């Protein structure tokens, strides 16, 4: 069927497209709003009703095909994202090992003697400090000469007297030796 009125054909085609994409609820809403408009008589079995039904079916087929293609593209992108890419190896990696892979455990080459880890001699602690065993695997280093022994944090905070603690007029915060912002 051919519609001679270009404006009416445009209305039918656009409405068919909207109904195909938005569902039959959109058609029902249009019927309610346009029930008294003669240009939408095709919705109620008018002269161009068959053409309208044909256009809705055609637009639905086009929309479904586009959705299917989009879904296939998304699946393809997901597959590409999760498939390991072929990356070039770097000179310090064994052949066949990709960057980021765990190295294959291989026995040491035959004929080479295994050497024990180097031993670092311990120095005695300075006098007046109790000796503590070094942590496992980490050699103990003595503290530098001439520094006072470390005191616990509580001892330091107890040494601050109320006379040296001041309150800031600007913020109301108190801190040892803080006189507030310079003016």
Q: What is the pLDDT of residues 20-58, one digit of tens each?
A: 999 999 999 999 999 999 899 999 988 889 999 999 999
Low-confidence ranges of the chain (pLDDT < 70): 1-3, 84-117, 121, 123-183
Q: Which CATH superfamily is domain 10-82 in?
A: Surp module (1.10.10.790)
Confidence (pLDDT) at 80: 82
d(CA 62, CA 21): 10
Confidence (pLDDT) at 55: 94
Residue 176: DSSP 8-state: E
Within a 10 A sphere around the Cβ of 125, how many other Cβ atoms?
13
d(CA 52, CA 49): 5
Question: What is residue 121's three-state secondary structure?
Answer: coil
């Amino acid at each position: 069927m051919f519609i001679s009125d270009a404006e009416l054909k445009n209305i039918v085609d656009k409405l068919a497209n909207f109904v195909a994409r938005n569902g039959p609820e959109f058609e029902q809403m249009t019927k309610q709003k346009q029930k008294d408009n003669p240009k939408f008589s095709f919705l109620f079995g008018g002269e161009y009703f068959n053409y309208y039904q044909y256009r809705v079916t055609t637009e639905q087929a086009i929309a479904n095909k586009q959705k299917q293609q989009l879904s296939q593209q998304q699946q393809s992108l997901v597959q590409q994202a999760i498939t390991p890419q072929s990356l070039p190896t770097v000179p310090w990696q064994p052949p066949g090992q990709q960057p980021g892979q765990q190295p294959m455990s291989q026995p040491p080459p035959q004929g080479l003697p295994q050497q024990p880890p180097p031993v670092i001699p311990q120095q005695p602690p300075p006098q007046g400090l109790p000796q503590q065993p070094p942590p496992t695997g980490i050699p103990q280093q003595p503290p530098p000469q001439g520094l006072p022994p470390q005191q616990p944090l509580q001892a330091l905070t107890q040494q601050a007297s109320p006379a040296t603690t001041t309150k800031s007029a600007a913020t109301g915060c108190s801190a040892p030796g803080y006189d507030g912002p310079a003016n």
